[in-house]
Chain A
Amino acid sequence: MLPLANKERAMAPKSYGKLDLTFQLLRGKTRMVDVYQQPPLKASRELYPEGTGDVTVYLMESSGGLVAGDRNEFRIHVGQGSSVTLRPQSATKVYPAFNDAPSTQQVTVKLEDDAKLEWNREEVIPFLDARFDSKTSIQMTPSSSLLWSEILYPGRDKRGEAFAFQECNTHVDIWIDDQCVVYDALHLHPKKQELKKLGALENYNYIGNFWCFSPKVNLSDVHMDSMLVQQDNHKSGMTTLESNGILIRWLSNSLPLLKKEMDTITNYFNGIVKEN
């Protein structure tokens, strides 16, 4: 069954999804003033679940995943004073690479002064034999705030796939004005690397990241120890970054626990960032 399905996919035309969203603060409410969408990417309408001027938009992908050579591009512009939450509706599934063509994703974000963006939550699942290149570049200013969470899966865990992909490369850079504050890349090539070794990924399957930059966070007041459980199948570390930034990174074999902690941490920082 599976090889046939793969063959059909291999013959499908390459797709090039695009989603350009521009947000502006208009009379106390954040509005999505400009949308350009090219299938399979699509944005939901503006939602105001909190009953405030903060907008939530779901990011939708109608094709079911990236096939070899497919590309998705997101361009997000958050205007001055706007407050935006973006929620990918589903995980990005990356199908096997044929003819060695990788699937690619590019996310470009620009935050103006006093803007706030929460990206909740980027999840990537590279399937057996997949090749994936993802690049995220975020340009912000000292007065803007960013909360960013992401989980990298080892494969379709329910099928017992773990690090069966060919390669998975993710890259995140974050700039505050012209200072580079994050330059974080993960290049995973399971067949060429010794990822299971102590100090590398060890016996853990899931990698989680939470990044936060905000002038409203006072690092000496941040107390997260009680929110982060350390146990045999799950561990994490927290570090401060340049320019008042924080990174929490997880290695875990418990996806529910990882998601729960990520939500708790996101809510905690949301509370701080949204305080006046």
Chain B
Amino acid sequence: MNKQSADLSSLSNIEDISTNLLYLMHIHDSAFPIGSYTHSFGMETYIQSDEIRTKEDLFEFLKMYVLENLAYTDGIFVKEAYEQMKAEGWDALIRLESICDASKNAVETRDASRMMGKQFLQAILPVFPNEHLKKWKQFVDEKRIKGHFPIAYSLYTVEMEFDLFTALLTFMYSSTVGLVHNAVRAIPLGQKAGIQVIHQLIPEIHKATKLVMERSLEDVSNHAVGLELASMQHKYLQSRLFIS
């Protein structure tokens, strides 16, 4: 066990907990190099068709994204990976990863999740050379797994001994806020509008996180079909700001 984790095991007061939280904030920083600023997961298709034009449109869309997409897909993968890593170990986690891959129908969204996961591992391992994360990266290199971000992220939060709710809440937050930043650039909207949308979304993110805490793999659902079609159509857009 490396130094960071060892320090966490002896947490004794609120200062330690808050300081530890900085490690989590660090990886969720929009400047942390996992490439979230290059992906829209289909949102750009709606921006170009003028279906997302105003901050109200953006809020409604992202509320759907959090409650009907994240809370039924990646949120559940983060939670399941967290629990399986603690209880069951590698084989269960590898199986979960293959289901995560197979559940993402739209190729651009599937590739985006793989890319972000690999970039996350590449960025974190030099500063956090944890044995379990190294092994996971080795599985990616051996092509046993694809490297999806929700699973790699979850593994990191287990190793850092963050509690599941916090790990999930911050995952939902950064996944959504990343899209707000991208929409602000693409629509475009002012910074103020972006801040307003994020502020309004926080209660929805909280609600969605509580729902995911009660869900399991059998609740995974792709009923955000419109977004999936938007992601499939994205590559046919004439000019694109984002990879997905």
Interface residues of A (CB under 8 A from B): 173, 179-188, 193-195, 197-202, 204, 207, 235-242, 247, 249, 251
Contacts and interface: CB of A to CB of B under 8 A. Distances in A.
B176 interface: no
Residue from A181, A183, A187 with most neighbouring chain B CB atoms (10 Å)? A183
B105 A184 contact: yes
B242 interface: no
A223 B67 CA distance: 35
B99 A180 contact: yes
Nearest to B220: A185
Given A180-B99, A200-B223, A249-B105, A194 B68 contact: yes
B227 interface: yes
A199 B224 contact: yes
Give the interface SS of chain B, mostly helix, strand, loop or mixed: helix
Contacts of A199: 42, 46, 61, 64-65, 68-69, 224, 226-227, 230
Nearest to B230: A199
B177 interface: no
B61 A185 contact: no
Contact of A187 (B51, B72, B103, B225): B72
Contacts of A241: 105, 107
Given A184-B222, A187-B223, A197 B98 contact: no
A154 B72 CA distance: 21
Given A237-B233, A241-B105, A251-B225, A193 B61 contact: no
A187 B65 contact: no
Ranked nearest first, the 9 interchain pairs of A and B with the lowest CB-CB distance are A237-B232, A237-B229, A187-B221, A183-B102, A197-B64, A199-B227, A180-B102, A183-B103, A199-B226
A237 B61 contact: no
Residue from A198, A238, A241 with most neighbouring chain B CB atoms (10 Å)? A198
B44 interface: no
Contact of B105 (A180, A201, A247): A247
Contacts of B230: 199, 237
A179 B98 CA distance: 8
A262 to B, nearest CB: 15
B97 to A, nearest CB: 10
Interface string B43-83: 00010000110000100110111011100100000000000
A121 B119 CA distance: 42
Contacts of A249: 105, 225, 228-229, 232
Contacts of B103: 183-185
Interface of B: 42, 46, 51-52, 57, 60-61, 63-65, 67-69, 72, 98-99, 101-103, 105-107, 218-233
A186 B223 contact: yes
A236 B105 CA distance: 13
B86 to A, nearest CB: 23
A188 B222 CA distance: 10
B226 A238 contact: no
A169 to B, nearest CB: 8
Given A173-B102, A184-B105, A198 B229 contact: no
Contact of B221 (A182, A185, A198, A236): A185
Residue from B52, B65, B67, B105 with most neighbouring chain A CB atoms (10 Å)? B105
Contact of A183 (B68, B99, B231): B99
A173 B99 CA distance: 9
A238 B102 CA distance: 16
Contacts of A180: 98-99, 101-102
Contacts of A179: 98
A155 to B, nearest CB: 16
Contacts of B107: 239-241
11 contacts: A180-B102, A185-B221, A187-B219, A193-B67, A198-B51, A198-B60, A200-B225, A201-B226, A202-B226, A238-B232, A249-B229
Given A198-B52, A239-B232, A182 B225 contact: no
A201 B219 CA distance: 18
A255 B106 CA distance: 24
Contacts of A194: 63-64, 67-68
Contacts of A200: 64, 68, 223-227
Nearest to B95: A180
Contacts of A239: 105-107, 231-232
A197 B60 contact: yes
A37 to B, nearest CB: 30
A178 B202 CA distance: 41
B133 to A, nearest CB: 24
Contacts of B218: 185
A201 B64 contact: no
Contacts of A181: 102
